[in-house]
Amino acid sequence: MPALKEAGIKVIHKCTSVRHSLKAEKIGCDAVSVDGFECGGHPGEDDIPNMILLPRAAEELSIPFVASGGMGNGKQLAAALALGADGINMGTRFIATKEAPVHQNVKDALIKATELDTRLIMRPLRNTERVLNNPAVEKIIALEQGKGQGLTIEDIKELVAGVYPKVMMEGDMDSGAWSCGMVAGLIHDIPTCQELIDRIMSEATEIINSRLKAFVA
């Protein structure tokens, strides 16, 4: 951390809990990305959704933080600000943009998916990952259920390791497990990044200036 500070680099640490966020603040991070249970990838092991996690982080943190996990539109930006965050961080939503350097099959899969189409894997290994459901994921879950706490990474290695080039570059959607957030249910198009950001900002501004003000008028 001292070397990063001396070089003028700002450090933003991803945290899935308040206690980890406080640790990041203690060691000198400039900001935190607070990652709720809805997120794609690794949501931690506490299973706390953002409606609880964000206001808890706001109660405890002194450094800025952004809301991560399930974020994809202006309504959520307005909500995140209301819950105490200083902005939002998007992962899955940015994959479904024209500039994203991934196979078209991946973008099409995100548009087709609903909020019900993600699964949690690797829970017995305490390395939980939220992924888009496919035959490979179903096989992983069957192995986890069959082996229980006796599961090892070797049992599922071929289905979780080294699959991203096949999925993201070659478009082989069933070759293994790949991270995807529940926000897939809110993805209905493939805009440019500029169009997406402009839309989010416009929607959030309209909500804050019109709908929210109506409640305090």
Q: Where do we find the tokens 């069957």?
A: 142
Q: Where do we find the tokens 């099959």?
A: 105
- The torsion defined by the Cα of 110, 66, 194 and 179, in degrees rounded to 10, comes to -20
Domain ranges for the chain: 2-90+195-214, 95-186
pLDDT per residue of the chain (217 residues) written in tens, 0 to 9: 899 999 999 999 999 999 999 999 999 999 999 999 999 999 999 999 999 999 999 999 999 999 999 999 999 999 999 999 999 999 999 999 999 999 999 999 999 999 999 999 999 999 999 999 999 999 999 999 999 889 999 999 999 999 999 999 999 999 999 999 999 999 999 999 999 999 999 999 999 999 888 887 6
Asked if residue 98 lies in contact with residue 65, where contact means CB atoms within 8 angstroms, the answer is no
Q: Which helix (H) or strand (E) holds 121?
A: strand 118-121
Q: What fold is seen in the domain 2-90+195-214? A: TIM Barrel (3.20.20)
DSSP 124-181: GGT--EEEE--HHHHHHHHHHHHHGGG--HHHHHHHHSS-HIIIIIT--TTSS--B--
**Residues 53, 67: Cα–Cα separation, whole Å:** 9
DSSP 87-101: -EE-SHHHHTSTT--
